[in-house]
A and B are shown apart, each in its own frame.
Chain A
Amino acid sequence: MKKSSSIRLVLLGSASMLLAGCGDEGPPQDAKFFSSTEECSSLYTAAECAAAKAEADRFHAAEAPRFSRKEECEAEFGPENCATQTARASEGGGSFFMPLLMGYMMGNMLSGGNRYSQPVWRGTNNQAVMPGKGGSFFGVGSFGSNAATGTSAFRPATQVASVPRGGFGSTATAYRSSAGS
């Protein structure tokens, strides 16, 4: 036998799920990252911190993406960034994989003045990602390293310095060609 015995794809076709670019989605300007209610309590009251954490936990449990296979989850969120969970009996039981909850973004909504809280997961490349519209995600910053946790490890996305780009690609443009052969 000279043919592959089985083929499946984890990124292409029906298996695919897009990690959305940043676009105009994002947390309110004043939103801050906390990994625990203790860290939160330096800026907010204990009751506000507890409510924000509960809201993020609730969202995480109900809305975080679920994968039947670990590698599918890791394809989106990176190696060792996924945890196994057992589904409730009311959801049909069984186990699945979901991204690790690293903490939550919390701030005042731009309109309405309500507290705002959303879970933050670790994505590939130690990106900090937050749920967006329609099952998409966007980056809100990064964590210092794969092992790093806590607020001190979090770097907000706005501090990215500019690096010269565009030093590759000019020949393909000149030939208006595929770069394959």
Chain B
Amino acid sequence: MERLATAPRPDWRAHVERELGFVFHTIDGQPYWDETACYRFGEAEIDAIEAATGELEQMALALVDRVVAVGEEAYTRLRIPAAAWPAIEGSWKAGAKNLYGRFDLRFAGDGPPLLLEYNADTPTALFEAAVVQWNWLEAVHKTADQFNSIHERLIETWLNFGIGRDPVHFAAVANHTEDEGTVEYLRDTAVQAGLATQRIAIEEIGWDGTRFRDLDNAPITTLFKLYPWEWLVAEEFGAHLLTGATRVIEPPWKMVLSNKAALALLWEMAPGHPNLLPAALEPDAIEGRVVRKPIYSREGANISVLDGGRVTAETGGGYGAEGFVYQAYAELPRFNGNFPVIGSWVVASQPAGMGIREDSTAITRDSSRFVPHYFA
């Protein structure tokens, strides 16, 4: 694994906007898509990341099975409200299919990939990984390979989802460019799989007392939502979503995996696993430097690095009321002052590709840049 400085395509902004509809390459005046550099991997390194991703997903699914079997005690440790338990159990036992997820891994080529966290419910940076870096590869390193068949696998997965003729409604938060871009990309892949689709803002969803309705008052029978389950269940219409009247993607059982307390339960289930870092729900259970993460948090908010109980680095934010998980600190590799994290994708629970986010600090945040990769 090495970081290479590369010459950006001279017209790349106009190109990605026009050809790909990629409009959030620059956020608040700062570069988000960054092709002044790329990462080059060896084939064996990619094989290691792919294999670890497949194994982590199998462990994650085994954890859901275990949590559903244990029931109340496990749900309580995960801070999942009781109202959601039947929907989790029901969707898991019915084998409700899932679309995608992203494992964030610490990898430097000096040992096995290590799981930092699993974004199982609302992962983003999908379009950038699936399409924009592929388009870059075709232009810049056409003969090289890339760990990235995300696009093809998404289309294939929609084909096998068993969705009938009714449209799938794709919902994102209104007026949020990146979230809308991610959802519109997923809708594009669904259309290519022959599905009928509609877009709707999460705020526009109607409830008529019996069914969810779109802006034309048509019933919403299948809903893709880029909106966390833990937020949905706590909001006004949340209880109606748990009745199962509308099929939701991701399915309710993803609630077990999309909260960071699952990291502690994974470690309990498979202590010493080479792809896991020690993690616990109690502050003193792990020796040495630890990272404290809110059980529900997003975009790197409210993360602290603790050394002997003393805070040595932290990010701000408004999360953490529901408690924290503590994970052994794993030093991120540093390339020319940049700290990369591998976002390794699963589509329908199969390893599908990866994207790299880079930050100038050791805590990856929403301002971290997306840098393309290839391998040879």
Please say whether chains A and B are actual partners in one complex. Answer: yes
Over the window 140-158 of chain A, the binary record of Cβ atoms lying under 8 Å from chain B Cβ atoms (1 yes, 0 no) is 0010001000000000000
| Given known contacts A9-B21, A9-B131, A169-B203, A2 and B148 CB-to-CB distance under 8 angstroms | yes
| Chain A residues with CB below 8 A from B228, complex form | 171, 179, 181
B158: Cβ under 8 A from any A Cβ: no
Closest to A76 in B: B191
- The smallest beta-carbon distance between A13 and chain B, in angstroms, is 4
Q: Which residues of B contact A4 (CB under 8 A)?
A: 130, 134, 148-152
Residues of B within 8 A of A178 (CB): 124, 173, 176, 178-179, 298-299, 366
Chain A nearest Cβ from B238, distance in angstroms: 8
Residue of B nearest to A75 (CB): B191
Q: From residue A148, how far is it (CB to closest CB) to chain B in Å? A: 14
Q: How far is the CA of A163 from the CA of B195 in the complex (A)?
A: 26
> Is B185 at the interface (CB under 8 A from chain A)?
yes
CB distance from A90 to the nearest CB of B (A): 31
Taking the complex as formed, is A166 at the interface, i.e. its CB lies under 8 A from any CB of chain B? yes
Is B218 an interface residue, CB under 8 A from the partner?
A: yes
Chain B CB within 8 A of A111 CB: no
B145: A residues at CB distance < 8 A: 1-3
Chain B min CB distance to A161 (Å): 7
A124 to B170 Cα, complex, angstroms: 14
A79–B217 CA distance with the chains assembled, in angstroms: 20
The answer to whether B299 touches A181 (Cβ under 8 A) is: yes
Cα A11 to Cα B182 with chains together (Å):
12
B157 located at the interface, meaning its Cβ lies under 8 Å from any Cβ of chain A in the complex? no
The stretch of B61-69, B72-80, B204-212, B265-273 that contacts the partner chain: B204-212
A142 nearest CB neighbor, chain B only = B216
Contact between B152 and A2, CB atoms less than 8 A apart: no
If A125-B216, A160-B216, A181-B299 touch, does A172 touch B204 (CB 8 Å cutoff)?
no
Q: Are B20 and A160 in contact (CB under 8 A)?
A: no
By beta carbon, the residue of chain A nearest B127 is A12
Also in contact, A179 and B188, with CB within 8 A (given A163-B217, A165-B205): no
- Interface residue B18 (Cβ < 8 Å from any Cβ of A): yes
Contact across chains for B122 and A181 when beta carbons are under 8 A apart: yes
> A177 vs B172: C-alpha distance in the bound complex, in angstroms?
12
Contacts of A1 in B (CB 8 A): 145
CB within 8 Å of B: which of A1-45? 1-5, 7-14, 16
Kindly identify which residue among A16, A71, A181 contacts B119, using a CB–CB cutoff of 8 Å: A181
Please determine whether A169 and B202 come into contact, CB atoms closer than 8 angstroms.
Answer: yes
A4 to nearest B CB, angstroms?
A: 5
**Known A79-B196, A169-B202; contact A7-B216, beta-carbon cutoff 8 A:** no
Q: Which residues of A contact B234 (CB under 8 A)?
A: 171
Find chain B residues with CB under 8 A from A10 CB. 188, 191-192
User: Is A112's beta carbon under 8 Å from chain B?
Assistant: no
Q: What's the Cα separation between A179 and B122 when bound, in Å?
A: 7
Any B CB within 8 A of the CB of A78: yes
Q: CB-CB < 8 A to A117: which residues of B? A: none
B279 interfacial contact with A, CB 8 Å: no
A interface vs B, CB < 8 Å? Answer: 1-5, 7-14, 16, 71, 74-75, 78-79, 124-127, 139, 142, 146, 160-161, 163-172, 175, 177-181
Q: B: which residues have CB within 8 A of A?
A: 18-22, 46, 50, 119, 121-124, 127, 130-131, 134-135, 137, 145-152, 165, 167, 172-174, 176, 178-179, 182, 184-185, 187-188, 191-192, 194-198, 201-208, 213-214, 216-218, 226-228, 231-232, 234-238, 240, 298-299, 318-319, 353, 366, 375
Closest 4 CB pairs of A and B: A167-B237, A180-B124, A12-B21, A163-B206
